[in-house]
């Protein structure tokens, strides 16, 4: 419905119906209201303008008669699709002021292309296995029952029920040492990273990043003017020795200890202790991004780094993007008590709070056991999908790539044979309906970048994955 700003002036000496007619006509010609947009009913407009219906009826009659408006029986009155440009550009009737030519309407923005949803799109969980019915019932029930308090502004830290449920889950499933009052509910890891950057890092500060690392973390942590310092990873994860050698003070370090993004290894126990010891000695903060640690295929899931730290120097970040779905935009921080106040101040000025409706739904999803059940089921689904991808790669892509790590998570990192450019491979894959992420853009230092692909398997059936590896083999073999 188009509510047009239409000042009518009873003292103007111009009849009301003429003012309304002119107001609408000019708005259509200026492009302020566009073909296909609905206009209010005569009753609603009369009420809105504080006039009787008669002048509104007269104005609409004329606009309909002249073709500016069109009535669609049963659905209302709309700006006509068929206002001919000639008419729009015709000279103003004698006596009226010259009017501007209708501004050419720009097309509605096209949805931004996020790289397609074909195999091997990374960061895509098994949406085909999501318990839609149970979820939809819970959303509907909570939406119906929303109280006034729940519709109003509320605690920026999140609802108590969700904070308690998240803390329970993290203590038992991830070995995080936390109480509910340390849990800050936010809109996904990305928001968590921006909040962390604003709370800990200012202009001129330095933050160490895994190299290669998660580009979105690099961008978020550098957003407030902090300098990001790449520290290489090897098969044991972040090189703490290289971090120690860094001469200038590093205020924080970002790590993905359970499943290094993008290469996939986990930070060994020895490195974890060394990192925590370094942080305590240098009074630095460790930012732990535990984005997909629920899924591990070769050994038991590792506990969180945060749970090993007696000194409370770890800011822990988790998300529901991989375990439920990314568009939910729900994640959380576990904040060391000493930093709580600062994080709350930032969170409050950031986006106030996360949508209460979904917090209520999630809290029930967790506390009623749906979440644990879903995770258990997904572990089997992903194990089968991962095995199908590995088998397909061995069968169709042998010699053109090597699997670097496939121990955990929802994607496999592969390195391309010498001479194959990963960005070019991604382009050629896209032409065949495949979606992948190139490894080389994950390096801050492009001179040292390795060529590889991140192949997501979470969102695709085994059959689809095997078929996609056949196509991938053709693409990498040059026959695309």
Ligand X SMILES: Cc1ncc(COP(=O)(O)O)c(C=O)c1O
CB closer to ligand X, 80 vs 256: 256
What is the DSSP annotation of 77-95? EEE-TT--HHHHHSPPPTT
| SS3 at position 347 | helix
Nearest distance in Å: CB 347, ligand X = 15
Considering the rule CB under 6 A, would residue 319 count as an interface residue with ligand X?
Answer: yes
Considering the rule CB under 6 A, would residue 405 count as an interface residue with ligand X?
Answer: no
CB closer to ligand X, 156 vs 318: 318
Nearest distance in Å: CB 319, ligand X = 3
Nearest distance in Å: CB 321, ligand X = 3
> Distance between CA 266 and CA 274 in Å, rounded?
14
CB closer to ligand X, 189 vs 196: 189
Strand 437-438 to 252-255 pairing: unpaired
Nearest distance in Å: CB 469, ligand X = 22
Considering the rule CB under 6 A, would residue 214 count as an interface residue with ligand X?
Answer: yes
Considering the rule CB under 6 A, would residue 288 count as an interface residue with ligand X?
Answer: no
Asked if residues 478 and 425 have their Cβ atoms less than 8 Å apart, the reply is no
**Interface mask toward ligand X for 158-197; x: CB under 6 A:** ------------------------------xxx-------
Nearest distance in Å: CB 56, ligand X = 49
CB closer to ligand X, 214 vs 278: 214
Considering the rule CB under 6 A, would residue 123 count as an interface residue with ligand X?
Answer: yes
CB closer to ligand X, 123 vs 405: 123
CB closer to ligand X, 42 vs 293: 293
Number of residues that bind ligand X (CB under 6 A): 13
252-281: contacts with ligand X (CB under 6 A) = 256, 261
Nearest distance in Å: CB 373, ligand X = 22
User: Quick one: CA torsion of 383, 388, 390, 392, rounded to 10 degrees?
Assistant: -170
Asked if residues 347 and 184 have their Cβ atoms less than 8 Å apart, the reply is yes
* Token output for 119: 């195999």
Q: What burial class does residue 122 get, using C-beta atoms within 10 Å of its C-beta: 0-12 exposed, 13-18 middle, 19+ buried?
A: buried
Asked if residues 217 and 291 have their Cβ atoms less than 8 Å apart, the reply is no
Considering the rule CB under 6 A, would residue 435 count as an interface residue with ligand X?
Answer: no
CB closer to ligand X, 33 vs 328: 328
The stretch among 319-327, 338-346, 366-374, 462-470 that binds ligand X (CB under 6 A) is: 319-327
Q: What burial class does residue 60 get, using C-beta atoms within 10 Å of its C-beta: 0-12 exposed, 13-18 middle, 19+ buried?
A: buried
Asked if residues 64 and 73 have their Cβ atoms less than 8 Å apart, the reply is no
Can you point out the beta strands (E) in 17-173? 38-39, 69-72, 76-79
Can you point out the beta strands (E) in 299-410? 314-319, 331-334, 401-405
Residues lying near ligand X in the complex (CB under 6 A) are found at 123, 188-190, 214, 256, 261, 289, 291, 319, 321, 326, 331
């Amino acid at each position: 419905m188009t509510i047009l700003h239409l000042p009518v002036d009873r003292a103007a000496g111009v009849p009301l119906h003429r003012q309304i007619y002119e107001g609408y006509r000019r708005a259509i010609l200026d492009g302020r209201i566009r073909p296909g947009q609905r206009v209010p009913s005569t009753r609603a407009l009369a009420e809105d303008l504080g006039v009787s219906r008669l002048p509104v009826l007269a104005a609409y009659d004329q606009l309909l008669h002249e073709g500016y408006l069109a009535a669609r029986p049963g659905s209302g009155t709309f700006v006509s699709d068929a206002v001919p440009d000639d008419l729009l550009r015709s000279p103003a009737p004698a006596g009226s002021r010259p009017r501007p030519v209708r501004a050419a309407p720009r097309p509605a923005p096209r949805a931004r292309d996020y790289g397609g949803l074909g195999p091997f799109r990374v960061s895509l969980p098994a949406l085909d296995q999501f318990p839609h019915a149970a979820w939809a019932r819970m959303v509907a029930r909570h939406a119906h029952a929303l109280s006034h308090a729940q519709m109003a502004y509320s605690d920026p830290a999140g609802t108590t029920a969700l904070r308690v449920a998240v803390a329970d889950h993290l203590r038992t499933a991830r070995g995080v040492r936390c109480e509910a009052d340390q849990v800050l509910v936010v809109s996904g890891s990305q928001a968590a990273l921006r909040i962390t950057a604003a709370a800990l890092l200012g202009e001129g500060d330095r933050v160490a990043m895994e190299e290669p690392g998660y580009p979105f973390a690099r961008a978020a942590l550098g957003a407030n003017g902090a300098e990001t310092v790449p520290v290489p990873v090897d098969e044991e994860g972040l090189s703490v020795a290289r971090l120690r050698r860094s001469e200038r003070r590093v205020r924080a370090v970002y790590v993905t200890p359970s499943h290094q993004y993008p290469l996939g290894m986990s930070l060994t126990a020895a490195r974890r202790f060394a990192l925590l010891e370094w942080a305590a000695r240098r009074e630095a903060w460790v930012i732990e991004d535990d984005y997909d640690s629920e899924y591990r295929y070769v050994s038991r899931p590792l506990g969180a780094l945060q749970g090993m730290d007696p000194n409370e120097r770890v800011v822990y970040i988790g998300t529901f993007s991989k375990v439920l779905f990314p568009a939910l935009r729900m994640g959380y921080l576990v904040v060391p008590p000493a930093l709580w106040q600062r994080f709350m101040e930032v969170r409050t000025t950031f986006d106030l709070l996360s949508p209460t409706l979904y917090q209520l739904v999630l809290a029930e999803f967790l506390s009623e056991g749906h979440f644990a059940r879903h995770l258990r089921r997904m572990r089997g689904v992903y194990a089968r999908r991962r095995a199908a991808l590995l088998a397909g790669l061995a069968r169709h892509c042998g010699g053109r790539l090597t699997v670097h790590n496939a121990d955990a998570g929802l994607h496999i990192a592969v390195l391309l044979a010498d001479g194959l450019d990963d960005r070019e491979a991604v382009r050629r894959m896209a032409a065949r309906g495949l979606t992948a992420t190139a490894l080389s853009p994950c390096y801050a230092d492009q001179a040292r970048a390795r060529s590889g692909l991140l192949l997501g398997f979470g969102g695709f059936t085994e059959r689809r994955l095997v078929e996609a590896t056949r196509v991938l083999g053709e693409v990498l073999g040059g026959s695309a």
